[in-house]
Amino acid sequence: MKHTSDNLQAKPSAAGEEDTLLNVCDLQGWYGESHVLHNCNLTVRKGEVVTLLGRNGAGKTTTLKAIMGLLKARTGSIHFDGTELINKQAREIARLGIGYVPDSRGIFGSLSVMENLLLPPKIADGGFELPAIYELFPNLKERLNSYGNKLSGGEQQMLSIARILRTGARFILMDEPTEGLAPVIIQQIGHTVRRLKSAGYTILLVEQNFHFARKLADRHYIVQEGRVVDEFHNNEVEANLEKIQGYLGI
């Protein structure tokens, strides 16, 4: 079902109540005096891959940061698997099983690949053990002793994803994983997202690369000026291509 921006705001939590994993309702957020998120509403169901699409500066990264507790000035409701996150700290939110792969990748240049991998603490059983990580990202196994600042952009991205998978988080927030990467690496990231989905992971993905996103996601939200203004199931994309391209300016 499609929504207009009005009824998305009026019925923030209408979709999929029974298997909803994340329900963001009337989320507002600020950087200091600057009001960036304006009543943002979205839901993610268990096992879905959902994208946030939008132009530069629309508020996609800020929405992920607000969910993760990295944007402190926020109001509204962020309900995750039975727990309200709005007043929780990032550390507590991570312990609930939410992993964040930032667009900056967050790799420590003066630590080795192995040290970077082992840095985030495990928060639950069932995460990827090292052999499974090497199987998913064979390049990393070859680079275990290399320093983070010697890695290519693609290797850094893989490391950033791998170390979150090791923690046992089952809900992954990924911010522009394909940014600046070569097509062959983008394919590998796409393969990883598919593998995770088939293993039951839930993923909220921020992407500028619509071509990449449309092949992976179950649903897409369009973000403009700090709010969700439209939503498309993947099977509605073809029929709404012009409209979506208009939103994204492509």
Q: How many residues bind ligand ATP (CB under 6 A)?
A: 12
- Residue 79 pairs in a beta bridge with 23, 84
Does position 78 bind ligand ATP by CB under 6 A? no
Q: Which is nearer to ligand ATP, 54 or 154 (CB)?
A: 54
Does 205 help bind ligand ATP (rule: CB under 6 A)? no
Interface residue with ligand ATP among 17, 31, 152, 182 (CB under 6 A) is 31
Decide if residue 167 touches ligand ATP (CB under 6 A).
Answer: no
d(CA 7, CA 5): 6
**Smallest distance, Å, CB 147 to ligand ATP?**
27
Q: Which stretch binds ligand ATP (CB under 6 A): 9-17, 58-66, 165-173, 191-199?
A: 58-66
CB of 5 to ligand ATP, least distance (A): 17
- Classify residue 81 as left (phi > 0), alpha (psi -120 to 50) or beta: left
54 binds ligand ATP (CB under 6 A): yes
- Contact residues for ligand ATP, defined by CB under 6 A: 31, 34, 36, 54, 56-62, 208
